[in-house]
Amino acid sequence: MHSDVQRILLSGEEIAERVTEIAEKITRDYAGESVLMVGILRGAVVFFAELVKKIDLDLRFDFMVVSSYGNSTDSSGEVRIVKDLSQPIEGMNVIIVEDIIDTGYTLKNLMKLLRTRNPKSLKICALLDKPSRRKVELEGDYVGFKVPNEFVVGYGLDYNEKYRNLPDICILKPEIYS
């Protein structure tokens, strides 16, 4: 275990099992269809890579970088597209793959934007969900785990861009955050 980690919330093994379940569900739900998996950089990279390997469908990749202006004092929120999709999504089954749904601002705004491009369907797949933090009404269609209101790192998630490579979802020692 990394010396900055206080405890492991979800082990790599537990995550792998859940990722398999989600991939099997997506494979069943979209049987006979093509899907475009859209990974949100950078946090979703590890989840995305593990997930797509286990989905048995006609599947394509794309990626976006977004940053949300949303905060507690700005109820509308706004999403800034830092890197857009590289292709149109009209008529496609799109699944957005995100690391965690926290306040919900990022995905709410992203969904609104992508809907204007007329995909055939648009769904959210998130590894983690922190429902107690939600500021806007938003639910993931495929969610790995609900987590308590604690800051987590690992399996793609960062604190100041570090710890993304940890194989488990972890809680850091309090002194690391101060």
12-29 and 45-53 helices, crossing angle to 10°: 60
How many residues sit in the footprint of ligand IMP (CB under 6 A)?
16
As given in the structure block, the two tokens for residue 65 are 């970088």
Beta bridge pairs of residue 26: none
Pairing, β 34-40 against β 58-68? parallel
Say which of 102, 129, 141, 158 is annotated catalytic. Answer: 102
Q: Which of 19, 68, 124, 168 contacts ligand IMP by CB under 6 A?
A: 68
Cα-based torsion angle of the residue sequence 66, 46, 124, 17 in order, rounded to the nearest 10 degrees = -160
Catalytic: 129? no
- Give the nearest distance from C-beta 1 to ligand IMP in angstroms: 18
The helix or strand, by DSSP H or E, that contains position 18, with its residue range, turns out to be: helix 12-29
Q: Which of 43, 70, 104, 140 contacts Mg ion by CB under 5 A?
A: 43
Cα-based torsion angle of the residue sequence 160, 162, 164, 170 in order, rounded to the nearest 10 degrees = -90
Query: Considering only 3-11, 36-44, 58-66, 118-126, which stretch makes contact with Mg ion by CB under 5 A?
Result: 36-44
Give me the 145-164 binding string for ligand IMP, x by CB under 6 A, dash otherwise.
Answer: ------xxx---x-------
Q: Which of 9, 30, 38, 43 contacts ligand IMP by CB under 6 A?
A: 43
Active centre residues (catalytic): 102
